[in-house]
């Protein structure tokens, strides 16, 4: 099948490549760019393990063609780590509150939570549960995921930072505890 | 740091050993998307495999035409049973003593069965070509009901025709697999005949699926130069897989390296050996290139590892005061087209004979009949220790049914029948020796915690309000006291394919006082790298943070039977403690030498050996480790390492008391869990944070199973629930918050007293949710209604009881 040229920004870096019109974004990310944080859990948009952030929206990359996002700005969980390599606030809080077990849903969870906190910096428990309902977890029962997101919101608000992307390093996270 | 300034308690805390809610070491990778799961593995020249699967549940395969598929550019091979047959690999042995087709050999027995395997340059081409394989089928009559199957003239397993003896004794019918009997039939029937009260009910535990978020898959890579096969895969038992691959392929075991990388949840789905593994290995041998196979979600739900599907006919006898005198159970077990249940060899129905539960039942009888039907094979322990979930659900429903018959409070009925603390170790009527327990204490604590009396009063008020037309909602109080049996198991009675179910740990202490430990188990999210390091830290006094833990690579880890049935802590955890104790024993000799005293004149003190009576004279474990590598100590070999293969003397018997408070809308069938209280007693607690996480997750899986999750078939054998649209997995929105609690009754035979916890919440959770639904409708005459209790089925209960006016 003939291939098309695609160009997009992924985690702040310009990338380009050749892809078939039918190539799914998740496969382009995982196989061409070797960004394997987003996972494939269902291939039908139900589980959310493949969630990435595209131009400020949470999107399930298992049902998105890479051709559809030509020119877009894509963020995956890899892009939510601090520039110095330390864990971003959400990543740290998921660890702190035991918000993950097998880790398979975690990249999608954290990426979705990142957007949720942009959409609503002060979510109630109900807001978090509703806002995360597109991401399934088989291990945790969500209770600690909700705690982790709530703690992240508190921490981000305390630091008056709009996003975990530019946020604080490990030392500040520890200082806030 | 001058250790002398720290108290023993402070030094112990610095180790982050047992009892510490140590943060997980795995999470640094996982939270950054740096896990390494099977589908993340990419090898040079790797091909992709995809299956052609049967759309029919029962059909003859008349012809398979590969031509169109082979003509697709990028297709490397198309395998059928005909291609595998010369290698003897078109069938494979199952874990249950049966055999199973790898690729359809003349017929198919369930929808989704593997018919051909396409190997191509990428996954898109493989999927394209799979569509082009032309298969001619001739439909056959379909049997989806196990009771019908036992009467039908239709022969499902023609390959077994005329065989009246199966792997587990006589076969009574051509669709019958085995009968398994435990206990005393005559005595039990005599008690039933004379009892004051007998309650009888059919309890069905429906077919469901473990459905981990990561599906099954593998990458097989045959190196033609070295003759070595490397098999990466989603294996809960990598060492057993290596042995199985060797036995069925003929490749010498030392030439096979099996690696389980990070596993995205298992829950029993990843115990078995699947056609995808065999085909990938063959494809790699044939092509000389690595071959990856990863099933999609639909394939996962349709073909690998169903769970449950037990029809349990029960009779329970009691005195009029509620003292249980006998229990009788006959189970019809729907095993699908092949008997691929993952149970220890001598237990074709797993540990179903734990079905006397937490109760002192003097006489009991259990019979299980396994049956072939046109459904997928499996019968795995979905977050459960070999059918314990079925057993616990059965007894916890029968107790409720008996309570109705006796017109008694179900909490009180349980209390008067519990095995008493002073009866342990307790010999059950169906053959088990329960190691330890204190059920009354746990039960009283649970009832008090939820204010049981208050809840019953509130429920009574709500019923009055309902009858008065003030509300359309009912309150259900779901009670459960479960006893598990985990940690298989003693090698003398537990094996899988002849491999004794011991487990292992090897520990090496490095000269600078850090360590690496390797185990025969494999984490699928349980946090082994965190918790097993804690056991070692407490045993040998090196900080958990300085201990690396590895599992899953058969070239480096000691042989073990893997992780399922909550056996990691009971068996490999015990091996870990024993290996650590061997190291400590040698360390004691080194310390005595360094301190110039007799071995018996030093004593262990958290992280050091000190001279008895002179605590200021000591050698820390760190100092001892260095000495082991730099001193020539008379009579001792250099180095400091140990390995332990642990064969447990008995299983462990975790237990718990769960209470669910649920509100049910009579008109819509909707439910809302208002409160869920889970008290677990898993013996010694290694990491409370992880235990709590396991309970949250297990109860949520129980919520799914009890309230909607099922693998349902229509009468044609079509799977009706093969996507996550139809197969219920609760989201954060439906899932309640849980209150966790505990008591601690250590296992007397386990080196650290731990019992295992991962599966308890599923075992206890399902009856707690189901009993809540039943309890809500009990005042209106409901005795038994089968799970899953989805909105429609709950609505139907209300409708059937005439509650819709």
DSSP structure string for B6-18: S-HHHHHHHHT-T
What's the whole-number average pLDDT of chain B?
96
Phi then psi dihedrals of residue B413, to 5 deg: -60, -40
Query: Are B749 and B611 within one domain?
Result: no
Sequence-distant (6+) residues with CB within 8 A of B299 are B51, B53, B112, B215
CA dist., res. A19 & res. A1, Å (int)? 9
Q: Which chain B residue lies closest to A32 (C-alpha atoms)?
A: B42
Q: How far is CA B381 from the centre of its chain?
A: 5
Domain boundary among B581, B611, B646: B646
Same domain for B43 and B16: no
Contact flag B33-A107 (C-beta cutoff 8 Å): yes
pLDDT tens digits, B490-544: 999 999 888 999 999 999 999 999 999 999 999 999 999 999 999 999 999 999 9
**Across B548-574, average pLDDT:** 94
- Averaged over B677-692, what is the pLDDT? 97
Which of B33, B268, B762 to mutate: most A Cβ within 10 Å? B33
Residue B58 lies in a domain: yes
Contact: A135, B29; criterion CB under 8 Å: no
B534 sits in which H/E element: helix B528-540
pLDDT at B408 over 90: yes
Residue A19: closest C-alpha in chain B: B124
Can you list the domains of chain A with their CATH numbers? 4-79 (3.10.20.30), 81-176 (1.10.150.120)
B262 and A138 within 8 Å at the Cβ level: the answer is no
Question: Do B336 and B385 lie in a common domain?
Answer: yes
Average pLDDT for B547-555: 97
Q: What angle do CA B284, B61, B302 make, to 5 degrees?
A: 65
User: Does B155 fall in a domain?
Assistant: no
Chain A neighbors of B292, CB-CB under 8 A = none
Q: How many domains does chain B have?
A: 3
Domain end call among B622, B646, B670: B646
| Residues B732, A132: C-beta atoms closer than 8 Å | yes
Residue B354 has pLDDT above 70, yes or no: yes
Residues B436 and B311 in one domain: yes
> B598 with B469, same domain?
no
Query: Do B341 and B481 fall within a single domain?
Result: yes
Split at pLDDT 50, 70, 90, the class of B560 is very high
Residues B604 and B734 in one domain: no
Contacts of B211 in chain A (CB under 8 A): 138
3-state secondary structure B176-210: EEEEEEEECHHHHHHHHHHCCEEEEEEEEEEEECC
A136 vs B contacts (CB less than 8 Å): 213, 724, 729, 731
The CA-atom distances, in angstroms, between B425 and each of B94, B231, B522 are: 35, 43, 31
In a domain, residue B520? The reply is: yes
Q: Which residues pair with B49 in a beta bridge?
A: B119
Average pLDDT over residues B264-289: 95
Nearest to B725 among A46, A87, A134 (CB): A46
Residue B86 pLDDT > 70: yes
- pLDDT for res B489: 82
Per-residue pLDDT for B410 more than 80?
yes
Task: Choose the closest CB to B729 out of A44, A132, A138.
Answer: A138
Segment B767-785 shows an average pLDDT of 98
Taking each continuous run of H as one helix and of E as one strand, the counts in chain A are 6, 5
Averaged pLDDT for residues B261-271? 95
The pTM assigned to this predicted structure is: 0.96
Q: At which of B646, B666, B682 does a domain end?
A: B646
% residues pLDDT > 90 (chain B):
97
Residues B705 and B670 in one domain: yes
Asked if residue B397 is part of any domain, the answer here is yes
pLDDT score of B251 more than 90 = yes
Higher pLDDT: B311 or B249? It is B311
Q: What is the pLDDT of residues B625-678, one digit of tens each?
A: 999 999 999 999 999 999 999 999 999 999 999 999 999 999 999 999 999 999
Instruction: Assess whether B246 and B113 both reside in one domain.
Output: yes
Say if residue B436 is in the same domain as residue B460.
Answer: yes
Q: Burial-class residue B425 by CB neighbours within 10 Å (0-12, 13-18, 19+).
A: middle
Query: What is the rounded distance in angstroms from the CA atom of residue B81 to the CA atom of residue B106?
Result: 9
What's B627's domain CATH number? Answer: 3.30.365.10
Residue B54 pLDDT more than 70? yes
CA A48, CA A132: separation in Å to the nearest integer?
9
B160 is a domain residue = no
Kindly indicate the confidence band of residue B566, based on its pLDDT and cuts at 50, 70 and 90.
confident
On whether the CB atoms of residues B241 and B231 are closer than 8 A, the answer is yes
Q: What is the pLDDT of residue B805?
A: 81
* Domain contains B640: yes
Share of chain B above pLDDT 70, in %: 100
Mean pLDDT, contiguous 10-residue spans, chain A (177 residues): 93 96 97 97 96 98 97 98 96 98 98 98 98 98 98 93 47 41
Domain contains B206:
no
Domain that holds residue B108: 38-140+215-263+270-303
B768 and B661 in a single domain? The answer is yes
CATH of the domain at B66: 3.90.1170.50
Give the one of A35, A135, A141 whose C-beta lies nearest to B700's C-beta.
A141
Contact call for B525 and A103, based on CB within 8 A: yes
* Residue B585 counted as domain residue: yes
pLDDT (0 to 100) of residue A159: 87
pLDDT score of B265 more than 50 = yes
* Residues B110 and B61 grouped into a single domain: yes
CB contact under 8 A, B39 and A39: yes
pLDDT per residue over B123-181, tens digit each?
999 999 999 999 999 999 999 999 999 999 999 999 999 999 999 999 999 999 999 99
- How would DSSP label each residue in B32-66? TT---BGGG---TT-EEEEEEE-SSSSEEEEEEE-
Each residue of B3-12: pLDDT tens digit?
A: 568 999 999 9
ipTM metric? 0.97
Q: What is the pLDDT of residue B712?
A: 98
Report the pLDDT averaged over residues B563-581: 93
What local confidence, expressed as pLDDT, does residue B3 receive?
Answer: 53
For chain A, give the longest Cα–Cα distance: 55
B15/B608 Cα distance (integer angstroms): 12
């Amino acid at each position: 099948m003939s291939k098309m040229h695609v160009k997009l920004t992924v985690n702040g870096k310009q990338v380009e490549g050749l892809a078939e019109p039918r190539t799914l974004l998740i496969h382009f990310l995982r196989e061409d760019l070797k960004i394997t944080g987003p996972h494939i859990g269902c291939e039908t948009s139900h589980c959310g393990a493949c969630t990435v952030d595209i131009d400020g929206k949470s999107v399930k990359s298992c049902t998105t063609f890479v051709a559809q996002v030509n020119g877009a700005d894509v963020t995956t969980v890899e892009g939510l780590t601090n520039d110095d390599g330390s864990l971003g606030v959400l990543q740290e809080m998921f660890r702190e509150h035991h918000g993950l077990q097998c880790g398979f849903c975690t990249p999608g969870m954290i990426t979705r939570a990142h957007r949720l906190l942009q959409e609503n910096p002060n979510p109630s428990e109900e807001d978090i549960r509703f806002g995360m309902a597109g991401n399934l977890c088989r291990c945790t029962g969500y209770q600690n995921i909700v705690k982790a997101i709530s703690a992240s919101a508190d921490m981000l608000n305390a630091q008056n930072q709009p996003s975990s992307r530019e946020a604080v390093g490990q030392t500040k996270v520890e200082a806030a505890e | 740091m001058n250790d002398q300034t720290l108290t023993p308690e402070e030094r112990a805390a610095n180790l982050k050993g047992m009892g510490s809610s140590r943060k997980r070491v795995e999470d640094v990778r996982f939270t950054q998307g740096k896990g390494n799961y099977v589908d993340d593995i990419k090898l040079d020249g790797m091909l992709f495999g995809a299956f052609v699967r049967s759309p029919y549940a029962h059909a003859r395969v008349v012809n398979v035409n590969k031509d169109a598929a082979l003509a697709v550019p990028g297709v490397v091979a198309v395998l059928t049973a005909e291609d595998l047959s010369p290698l003897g690999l078109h069938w494979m042995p199952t874990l249950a003593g049966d055999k199973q087709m790898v690729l359809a050999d003349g017929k198919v027995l369930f929808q989704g069965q593997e018919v051909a395997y396409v190997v191509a340059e990428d996954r898109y081409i493989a999927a394209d070509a799979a569509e082009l394989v032309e298969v001619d089928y001739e439909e056959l009559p379909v049997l989806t009901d196990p009771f019908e199957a036992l009467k039908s003239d239709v022969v499902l397993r023609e390959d077994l025709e005329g065989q009246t003896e199966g792997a587990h004794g006589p076969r009574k019918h051509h669709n019958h697999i085995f009968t398994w009997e435990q206990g005393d039939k005559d005595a039990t029937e005599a008690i039933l005949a004379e009892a004051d009260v007998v309650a009888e009910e059919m309890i069905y535990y429906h077919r469901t699926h473990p459905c981990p978020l990561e599906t099954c898959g593998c990458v097989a890579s045959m190196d033609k130069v070295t003759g070595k096969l490397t098999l990466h895969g989603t294996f809960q038992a990598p060492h057993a897989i290596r042995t199985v691959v060797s036995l069925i392929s003929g490749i010498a075991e030392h030439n096979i390296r099996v690696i389980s990388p990070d596993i995205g949840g298992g829950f029993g789905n990843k115990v078995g050996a699947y056609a995808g593994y065999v085909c990938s290995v063959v494809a790699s041998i044939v092509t000389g290139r690595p071959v990856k196979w990863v099933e999609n979600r639909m394939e996962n739900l349709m073909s690998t590892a169903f769970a449950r599907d037990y029809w349990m006919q029960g009779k329970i006898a009691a005195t009029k005061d509620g003292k249980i005198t006998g229990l009788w159970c006959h189970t019809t077990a729907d095993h699908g087209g092949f008997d691929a249940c993952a149970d220890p060899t001598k237990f074709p129905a797993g540990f179903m004979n734990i079905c006397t539960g937490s109760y002192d039942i003097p006489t009991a009888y259990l019979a299980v009949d396994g049956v072939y039907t046109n459904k997928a094979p499996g019968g795995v322990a979905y977050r459960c220790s070999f059918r314990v979930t079925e057993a616990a659900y059965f007894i916890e429903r029968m107790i409720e049914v008996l309570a109705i018959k006796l017109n008694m409070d179900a909490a009180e009925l349980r209390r008067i029948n519990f095995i008493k603390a002073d009866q342990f170790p307790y010999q059950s009527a169906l053959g088990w020796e329960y190691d330890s327990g204190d059920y009354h204490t746990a039960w009283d604590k649970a009832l008090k915690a939820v204010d049981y009396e208050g809840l019953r009063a509130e429920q009574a008020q709500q019923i009055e309000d309902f009858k008065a037309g003030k509300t359309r909602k009912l309150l259900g109080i779901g009670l459960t006291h479960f006893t598990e049996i985990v940690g298989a198991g003693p090698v003398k009675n537990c094996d899988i394919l002849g491999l004794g179910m011991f487990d292992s740990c090897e520990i090496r202490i490095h000269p600078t006082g850090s360590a690496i430990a390797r185990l025969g188990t494999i984490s699928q999210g349980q946090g082994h790298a965190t918790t097993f390091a804690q056991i070692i830290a407490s045993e040998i006094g090196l900080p958990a943070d300085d201990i690396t833990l590895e599992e899953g690579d058969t070239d480096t880890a000691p042989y073990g039977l893997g992780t399922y049935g909550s056996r990691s802590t009971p068996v490999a955890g015990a091996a870990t403690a024993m290996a650590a104790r061997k190291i400590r024993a040698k360390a004691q000799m080194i310390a005595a030498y360094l301190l110039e005293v007799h071995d018996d004149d030093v004593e262990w003190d958290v992280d050091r050996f000190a001279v008895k009576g002179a605590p200021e004279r000591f050698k820390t474990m760190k100092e001892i480790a260095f000495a082991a590598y730099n001193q020539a100590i008379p009579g001792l070999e250099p180095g400091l390492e140990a390995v332990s293969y642990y064969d447990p003397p008995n299983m462990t018997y975790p237990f718990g008391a769960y209470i669910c408070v649920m509100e049910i809308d009579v008109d819509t069938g909707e439910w809302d869990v208002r409160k869920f209280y889970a008290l677990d007693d898993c013996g010694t607690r290694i990491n409370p944070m992880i235990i709590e996480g396991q309970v949250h997750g297990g109860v949520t899986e129980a919520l799914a199973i009890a309230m909607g999750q099922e693998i349902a078939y229509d009468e044609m054998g079509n799977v009706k629930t093969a996507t996550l649209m139809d197969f219920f997995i609760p989201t954060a929105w439906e899932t309640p918050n849980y209150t966790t609690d505990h008591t601690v009754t250590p296992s007397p035979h386990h080196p650290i007293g731990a019992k295992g916890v991962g599966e308890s919440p599923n075992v206890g959770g399902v009856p707690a949710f189901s009993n809540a639904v039943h309890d809500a409708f009990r005042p209106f005459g409901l005795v038994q209604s089968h799970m899953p209790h989805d909105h429609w089925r709950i609505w139907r209960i209300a409708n059937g009881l005439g509650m819709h006016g």
